[in-house]
Structure 1
Amino acid sequence: MIVLILSLKMLVRNLSRALWKTLHIEKRCFASDPAKVQPETIDNEDPIQAEYLNKDICLLVDEKDNFIGTATKRDCHRVGPDGNILLHRAFSVFLFNKRGDMLLQRRSSHKVTYPDYYSNACCSHPLYIDNKAEDVITAARRRLNHEFGIPLDQMDPELFIPMTRVHYHDPGDGVWGEHEIDHILIFQGDVKIKPNSDEISEYCYVPKNEFNAYLPTLEGPITPWFNMIRRHRLKLWWDNLHRLKEIAEPDKIKKFNTEK
């Protein structure tokens, strides 16, 4: 049974598919507040998201994940005329509660990259802050706090397990895409959630034995990085939450394709 965490202001809707109802799966839940209506910018970008694109300074890296420079988040995700995208450092957090259920989110429709896509708990970037590169786990805690409202004191840095790094390229919609060396982290613990509706429109915890049946009920696509891990590593990690450090490969950089 999917465990749902609902706030007082949360909107609830029924899953429309009869098959899913016969499996006794509960409703997905919305972020606690509807996203604020903002005036459009010249480029039809949400102003809040546009601000992040311009002010967040990401870390450019080479193919060995060596830090070689900086660029704005906007520049790091813009697909060039030749199809190239700047290679930069990122992270993806797979968050499980103590029962072993996995937290999923649906990206807000206001997101510039991959709006309305479903994904793992948190995917973002360490930044260049105060003239130095931000640590990946520090960045993960910052973003989980920003997107899901998880209190920092509920996210012990020692509980984040670096599993591997993945070098992948995805052209997105041809305007905005991804080219990242993605540090994959797993965190397991029971945390309080109060989602930021500018970032997340839906979220839920999914048990392992219901995951494969749950995916076809989603009302949108899944992000390429989540799909990539789903295909190549998720089952191995989910089956071995009790001994993740034994199977982790944090020093390796894998190359997986993002195709379904």
Structure 2
Amino acid sequence: MTTEEHVVLVDRDGHALGTAPKLAVHGRETPLHLAFSSYVFDHEGRVLLTRRADSKLTWPGIWTNSCCGHPLPGEPLERAVERRLSYELGLAMDRVDLMLPAFSYRAVMANGIVEHELCPVYRVTVTSPAVPNPAEVGETMWMPWKEFAEGVRNGLLAVSPWCQEQVPLLADLGADPLTWHPASPAELPPAARP
């Protein structure tokens, strides 16, 4: 017997309001809920991009950052990042750092489905190769960060709406993603603090 996955609902200030089934919250009236985005880098500063599986409910087949997901109720965000990277890409993390603690966005697909997330962003470094789970990831590609960031900023690369918003914020942290200074976990929204 499998248990239905729940997400943490939050208010605009990042306080937990309760939980709801994950499948029930992604629709035309998606409430704000807790999530995360991660950007995986190798030790050469290349970023791992993923094309979302065609079976995904939101933005199927679209290129995006390495991995996104939702923490389970009570699960620390770093643990959720680790869990989803292992499940989606077969990756073990060398290091995980909080970069954008309060990132939030709302995006609407052409069919009316809304994504509405309070979504802290993490930098992850790895040395192991990615082994994509086809249920989650259609394709992967490593790209030099500078080339990727410039492509997104100049509109030359089509990526998910959250990635489109996150990349300029990350690029503002400096040219070399391996030297970005991490944010403090104390800056996380209350519902996401350890």
Residue 172 of structure 2 is matched in structure 1 by 236
Residue 9 of structure 2 is matched in structure 1 by 60
CA shift, 1:241, in A, is: 2.9
Higher strand share: 2
Residue 89 of structure 2 is matched in structure 1 by 148
Cα gap change, 1:123/1:238 in structure 2, threshold over 3 Å: closer, same or farther?
farther
Aligned-residue Cα RMSD (Å) equals 2.4
- Quick check: 1:103–1:206 contact (8 Å CA) kept in 2? yes
Cα gap change, 1:86/1:213 in structure 2, threshold over 3 Å: closer, same or farther?
closer
- Bigger CA drift: 184-193 or 96-105? 184-193
Identity of aligned residues (%): 30
Cα distance between partner residues in 1 of 2:6 and 2:77: 14
Cα distance between partner residues in 2 of 1:125 and 1:206: 25
Cα gap change, 1:170/1:240 in structure 2, threshold over 3 Å: closer, same or farther?
same
Q: 2:79 aligns with which of 130, 134, 138?
A: 138
Cα distance between partner residues in 2 of 1:74 and 1:176: 12
The answer for unaligned runs of 5 or more in structure 1 is 1-51, 254-260
Q: 2:126 aligns with which of 189, 213, 229?
A: 189
Cα distance between partner residues in 2 of 1:193 and 1:238: 26
Residue 25 of structure 2 is matched in structure 1 by 76
Cα distance between partner residues in 1 of 2:96 and 2:27: 30
CA shift, 1:88, in A, is: 0.4
TM-score normalised by length of structure 2: 0.84
Residue 64 of structure 2 is matched in structure 1 by 119
Greater relative CO, 1 or 2 (CA 8 Å, sep 6+): 2
CA shift, 1:127, in A, is: 1.1
* Residues 71-220 of structure 1 mapped to structure 2, 5 A cutoff: 71-80=20-29, 85-128=30-73, 133-150=74-91, 154-156=92-94, 159-164=95-100, 165-211=102-148, 212=150
Q: For residue 56 of structure 1, what is the amino acid of its counterpart?
A: E
Cα distance between partner residues in 2 of 1:217 and 1:170: 20
Aligned length: 184
Render the CA deviation track for 1:168-217: whole Å, top value 9, x for unaligned: 11122344221110010111232222110111111111013432459877
Work out which of the two has the higher radius of gyration on C-alpha atoms and give 1 or 2: 1
Cα distance between partner residues in 2 of 1:176 and 1:140: 24
Q: For residue 148 of structure 1, what is the amino acid of its counterpart?
A: L
Cα distance between partner residues in 2 of 1:102 and 1:228: 16
Q: 2:181 aligns with which of 239, 242, 245?
A: 245
Q: For residue 170 of structure 2, what is the amino acid of its counterpart?
A: L
